[in-house]
Amino acid sequence: MGEAKRKATRGATGASPCGTCTMCCTLSHIVALDKPMYRPCRHLVGGDGRAGGCGVFGGPERPEACSAYECAYHTAHRTAHPDRRRIPHPLDAGAYFHKDPIENAIVVFVDPDRPLLWKSSAIVPILRNALAGGLALVIFDRGRRMTVRASGHLDEILQRDYVAFADAQGIPREIASYEAERRPQPSAVSSGSAIP
């Protein structure tokens, strides 16, 4: 989805600069909302929330953690950073990221519905530059947490699907909530079936 189309499809309140992107509202752990990773936030508008945006954006019930958070794409555009045109929109890249000053790392959250897209996106050169500049990468991908400190390790991750490999080996996921949150949720309307 291009930038012009994104601008035309803002969230329910029209105030959110994120448009229809709700990756951070779905993929991240939000303590203030008792929301585990991979569970869509209860404040998202429209079905599973992915199409409508934040229903409490700008409102007093929006947690401080949400108000304070910005992905790198949003920060670069808000501040008119010189690299703002190099950072792809999360919906176009299949991932979003931010710099974590506490961990001295770039933290990447991969869209589990399109887990390989980021590997061929404009995010990759940004991650390479971060590694060259001494930052670590912390990549969350389908319930797995990978810490990368060397460009050779990043190259291996880009070439192979480490998550699928670990799954095939039966290695438990580091993010326990992934399996529970990715399972289809039972419908609120009964189908009349006796099968639970």
pTM: 0.83
- What is the pLDDT, as a whole number, of residue 185? 53
Helix (H) or strand (E) holding 130: helix 123-132
Helix (H) or strand (E) holding 109: strand 105-110
d(CA 94, CA 120): 10
Least confident among 115-119, 125-129, 158-162, 183-187: 183-187
d(CA 174, CA 172): 7
Distance of CA 135 to the CA centre of its chain: 20
- What is the pLDDT, as a whole number, of residue 189? 39
- What is the pLDDT, as a whole number, of residue 58? 83
- What is the pLDDT, as a whole number, of residue 18? 82
Mean pLDDT of the chain: 84
Give the mean model confidence (pLDDT) for residues 22-49: 86
